[in-house]
Structure 1
Amino acid sequence: MTPRKRLRTEPIVRVRTGCFTCRRRKKKCDEQRPFCGGCVRNKLHCEWPVNVPSTSSTRSHLHGITEDKAKEDFPGSPSVTRTCGTSGSPGSPASAMSPSSTSSSSDAVERLSPPLEEQASLVPLGFSHATPRSPILGSEAASPVTGNFMSRSLSMLPGCSHESYQLLSHYLATTAEVMANGSTPVNPFLVQIVPLAFTSDLLLQLVLTQSAAHRAFRCRNDSDEVAQTHYTKALQLFRKGVTEFIDGKESNPLMLTVGALVMCFTETAKGDMNGTIFDHLSAANSLLTRLLSLSDAAVPKDLKDFVIEYYTYTAAVSMISIDARVSHQLLLNFDLEQKARQLLEAEYVGNLCGCWLELLLLIPCIFDLGRQWMMQDGQPVMPTADDIAMFGSLQAQIMQWNPYTFVSPEVYLAGRIFQQAMLLYLYTALGSFSRTKQGMHQGLINVSIAEAMSHLNQLSATARINSGLCWPIAVVGSCLSNAEQQDQLRQRLTTMANFFGLGNMQRTLLLLEHMWQAPLDDAGPWNICRAMQQHQIWISFA
């Protein structure tokens, strides 16, 4: 019979005043000086404080050691409370994220960073825009191992500067969060894009560029040299990659496809008004067609689904920027549309399209129908019986659409806002035809405006879902003639731009301000492209 274990009658006494080495190893120290028995036995460097702190002050003392270590490694390194990143970044804007999403970003940083015991000069990242004081980077000279501290030769970003680490930290803590609308608990800009970036110098540079552009706009620093330098380098690397792909030197289109999409959202973050996003979108179209021909073994299904959603969303909401009177361009071709419809069969909910992917796929249909009724000389073509049937079918599909029952209340409201914006987009396609101002057609438009504004008023302007609402806000806003409603959208977009720090939100407001000053005959979403041309504001609403 197994003998009974003797019960311990005396409490275990853990010494809290031993040497630093034993404390880090979580071993009992016999407190022999200058070298304790544990360090001698294990041939370790025995470190002692000059004055042993009391129990209550141990934590603050160790924190002081961490700060001293940081100052020794990187003299003149910025303070942990410094905001807006590197030198030359003015101001300290309010945090763009809600406390509810702090854990996911912090966990992502911790997974990618060495433990604190191994990297004493790092500090955890939160949603304040604090930057790490002394990251271990490959560009710095390697230092010898001291005690249990890791050598600097183990680098997370080999060959990159301290500045690059700060940009990556900003991306993980802030940029990736505002790019996603929070429709799902998993953020693909973290779990899909970041791992890819660590396998590709090109994609890593594009991610850092997106972070730099976002940080520069948040700080309202149009002359940010860091952002400009990274943007120039990113364009050069991307063009080089595309050239090599065309020449047959690069056979895997995955990195270039994702890179083109990342560049699209970089333009969104910086608030570009030159239409550069459409160049990136055109490149992504060709690359994505090649990518989708690869098997799921070559490209994981989750990643492929996200890339399809990424492109479908960006292309669909960008079509409103194209003048249907003069252009036959369709950013979403039949093959890509079919791939997106396969996602609908699985009731796909994404961090860009939310639960309204089905509505987004109707945009090319409405665009094609409206284009047939518009001529460059302003003379509309009378609709055929097929046109009338198509109009009725599209209206029925939009009105019968319902958000999934399992989505959050915010996602549900956003879906309803998109639904009313889609109806406005369809109704105003008839704008070329004569109609009475108080007739049934205008009544349908007024009802959709009222419904959309009601849903918007129920949704906080700082809710994460707003990061994907520029398109419906622009559609609804372009139809407004009521000064009070215009002011409501003005305040909303201003709050959104300040809170999320995305330049596209501010540019959307700028465009609407011009449209609100124009005659009523120039109102409506089909005239957004003309307002863009008149005022040279070429943007997408992604």
Structure 2
Amino acid sequence: MPPERQPRTQRIVRVRTGCWSCRRRKKKCDETRPICAGCRRNDLQCEWPLTSSERRISSATHDAQGLFSTDRKSSHASSGEDLDGMQLPASPMSARHSSCSSSAGLSAVFEEPLAQAQVPVTVPVPIIEEIVEDVPIASSEAENAIATSQAIGHVLPRTMSMLPGYDPESYGLLSHYLSNTADVMANGTTPINPFLVQIVPLAFSSDLLLQLVIAQSAAHRAFRRGDDSDAVASSHYTKAIQLFRHGVSDFIEGKESNPLMLLVGALLMCFTETAKGDMTGTVFDHLSAAHTLLVKLLEQSDTAVPRELKDFVIEYYVYTATVSMISIDARLSGQLFLNFDLEQRARDILRTQYVGNLCGCWLELLLLIPCIFDLGRQWMMDDAPSTLPTADEMAMFASVQAQILRWSPYSFVEPEVYLAGFVFQQAMLIYLYTSLGGYTYAPDGMYRGLVQTAVTEALSYLEKISPQARINSGLCWPIAVVGSCLEHPEQQDSMRARLTAMAEHFGLGNMQRTQLLLEAMWELSPADAGPWNICRTMQAKQIWISFA
């Protein structure tokens, strides 16, 4: 048996003399000038650092700021000039700047210069350390030392990528997501943006989610540019759909047991439709997939998924599912996206006074939407509806109304969130009051009085919220409900101006399409308008919206 190796007791001291080629190759140099034996033997260029006297002479020719000379000619093979005589690229670090948005901590790493700031690295770190020690660098250029070391010899720089397999365009889109898209997707009710702290880490561990984040950003950017046929957005979204289908196949075949990535992927696809303005009702397909995956996820133990992430996913789904129900024709479909188990999970969150960046402080109100939808569906699908609702229908009506009127926003939330809660409350009352088909509708009847009172209250709260406030990103649903009942031209003008300002500021397609929908509804008679006719107007005008 060979003897065991003895542990090394002495530290290896790297020689800091010798030519650059030997240092890079980590070989001992015999220091023969002008060409050492190693370079002669391997037919390499032999370059030498300046001596102390040469540095003093060279530094005297520089200005007081220590800037590199730009008019010296490079002749590495014959003159043996050092790095001081080379024109060097500026460090990408100097081009980065922090964002003033709530995502500053992450967007500082992925700002727009990201597409150009792919740092080529060809020199090993130990060599870089030696170069920094041997070459005098002004203090203002200390952060450029690593970028400076890249230009040694005639070695062509090689790109180092943080996203292997993704082109520079993807860097720009990721930058746009971190500094822009993630901000407008969240309503700003909490200082922590889950679209950054929850979604981004998952995206860097999943090709599907990363592709969806990029696709969502591309859709958002395309809408801002007014380009409905943006090829980049379409390409990334197509790739994301392909990855999603592949992931579903693996999940069905048992190759993947954790549905988390697929679930978040399905929800991200819902919000991609929000960013571009869902024109075909695709969001319902994504919701159906998300429903199945969420049920599977909740069957797993809490240790499989962090509590904060699971709460956010539940909020994400509940919000998207409930506000999307208004787009379903209750006369033709009884489809519900929220079963009893999911509702109970959401109510468990409510016990902690949960405030989220999608449901704000009004999650309790959103959980009543399926109840109201089912109430209206039963009334409208009756083959021979009676003049008056049944006793059971009136009992359900009274119970839901009491819950809505009893609700109030948490006192500890921000003022804009507090006001937005009251906007949702009035919109819920309108949705409830119109659920039984306006059985007592008359120009001066009780039905009209109840609706118009809620409309007036909702508009008064909306006027106190700036159209540029982040909370507006979650207000398309109540705005559509309230707006569908506006009868006076001045009220319609005010809502039109608000939606225009919101779309210009946030760049979300669902805001623009909400305005198009309301424009179509304002042409109808009051009896044919209202929130329960939103789905019919969408079908007639082919204006499909993801209200999420």
Q: Give the shorter-chain TM-score range.
A: 0.7 to 0.9
Contact 1:317–1:471 under 8 Å retained in 2: yes
Contact 2:266–2:290 under 8 Å retained in 1: yes
- 1:455 is matched with 461
Contact 1:80–1:133 under 8 Å retained in 2: no
Contact 2:329–2:536 under 8 Å retained in 1: yes
Cα shift at 1:292: 0.9
* Deviations 1:298-325, CA, capped at 9 Å, x for gaps: 1000000000000000000000001111
Contact 2:331–2:377 under 8 Å retained in 1: yes
Q: Where in structure 2 are the equivalents of 1:83-98 lying within 5 Å?
A: none
- Tell me the amino acid that sits aligned with residue 102 of structure 1: C
Q: Which of 60, 63, 84 pairs up with 1:52?
A: 63
Pairing 1:336–2:342 present: yes
- 1:315 is matched with 321
* Deviations 1:378-429, CA, capped at 9 Å, x for gaps: 8457422221111111111111110000000000000000000000000011
- 1:278 is matched with 284
- Range with greater deviation from structure 2 (512-521 or 398-407): 512-521
- Range with greater deviation from structure 2 (299-308 or 152-161): 152-161
Q: Secondary structure at the match of 2:146?
A: coil
- 2:504 is matched with 498
- 1:182 is matched with 188
Cα shift at 1:36: 5.9
Cα shift at 1:48: 7.2
* Deviations 1:81-111, CA, capped at 9 Å, x for gaps: 9xxxxxxxxxxxxxxxxx9x8253221134x
Q: TM-score, normalised by structure 1?
A: 0.78
Q: Secondary structure at the match of 1:186?
A: coil
- Tell me the amino acid that sits aligned with residue 540 of structure 1: S
2-structure distance, mates of 1:299, 1:49: 63
- 1:135 is matched with 117
* Deviations 1:334-354, CA, capped at 9 Å, x for gaps: 111111000100000000000
Q: Which of 529, 532, 545 pairs up with 1:539?
A: 545
- 1:205 is matched with 211
Cα shift at 1:297: 1.3
Pairing 1:243–2:249 present: yes
Change (3 A) 1:521 1:49: farther
* Deviations 1:470-493, CA, capped at 9 Å, x for gaps: 000000000111111011111111
Q: Secondary structure at the match of 2:468?
A: coil
Pairing 1:69–2:81 present: no
- 2:171 is matched with 165
Change (3 A) 1:429 1:144: same
Change (3 A) 1:495 1:379: same
Q: Which of 117, 134, 146 pairs up with 1:149?
A: 146
Change (3 A) 1:240 1:390: same
- Tell me the amino acid that sits aligned with residue 480 of structure 1: L
Question: Could you list the runs of 5+ residues in structure 2 that have no partner in the other structure?
Answer: 1-48, 69-86, 132-144, 151-157
- Range with greater deviation from structure 2 (335-344 or 512-521): 512-521
Q: Which of 102, 105, 108 pairs up with 2:103?
A: 105
- 1:466 is matched with 472
After superposition, the CA RMSD in angstroms is 2.8
Q: Where in structure 2 are the equivalents of 1:498-517 lying within 5 Å?
A: 498-517=504-523
Q: How many residues align?
A: 451
Change (3 A) 1:50 1:405: farther
- Tell me the amino acid that sits aligned with residue 169 of structure 2: E
Cα shift at 1:34: 3.9
* Deviations 1:110-151, CA, capped at 9 Å, x for gaps: 4xx4xxxxxxxxxx73xxxx44352328xxx75335655278
Contact 1:375–1:381 under 8 Å retained in 2: no
Cα shift at 1:434: 3.6
Change (3 A) 1:379 1:399: same
Cα shift at 1:69: 2.0
Contact 1:380–1:433 under 8 Å retained in 2: no
Moved over 6 A (4+): 47-50, 150-153
- 1:287 is matched with 293
- 1:441 is matched with 447
2-structure distance, mates of 1:433, 1:266: 39
Change (3 A) 1:387 1:103: closer
Cα shift at 1:214: 0.6
2-structure distance, mates of 1:207, 1:493: 26
- Tell me the amino acid that sits aligned with residue 368 of structure 1: D
- 2:74 is matched with none
Q: Secondary structure at the match of 1:102?
A: coil
- 1:360 is matched with 366
Contact 1:281–1:315 under 8 Å retained in 2: yes
2-structure distance, mates of 1:36, 1:438: 97
2-structure distance, mates of 1:417, 1:464: 15
- 1:518 is matched with 524
- Tell me the amino acid that sits aligned with residue 143 of structure 1: T
Change (3 A) 1:515 1:53: farther
Change (3 A) 1:376 1:143: farther
Q: Secondary structure at the match of 1:330?
A: coil
1-structure distance, mates of 2:60, 2:421: 60
Contact 1:352–1:468 under 8 Å retained in 2: yes
1-structure distance, mates of 2:59, 2:477: 62
Q: Secondary structure at the match of 2:100?
A: helix
Q: Secondary structure at the match of 1:510?
A: helix
- 1:265 is matched with 271
2-structure distance, mates of 1:188, 1:36: 55
Flag the structure with larger Rg.
Answer: 2
- Tell me the amino acid that sits aligned with residue 149 of structure 1: I
Quote the sequence identity (%): 64
* Deviations 1:149-180, CA, capped at 9 Å, x for gaps: 27867642122211111111111000000000
1-structure distance, mates of 2:356, 2:368: 17
Contact 2:247–2:262 under 8 Å retained in 1: yes
2-structure distance, mates of 1:49, 1:337: 76
- Tell me the amino acid that sits aligned with residue 176 of structure 1: A
- 2:330 is matched with 324
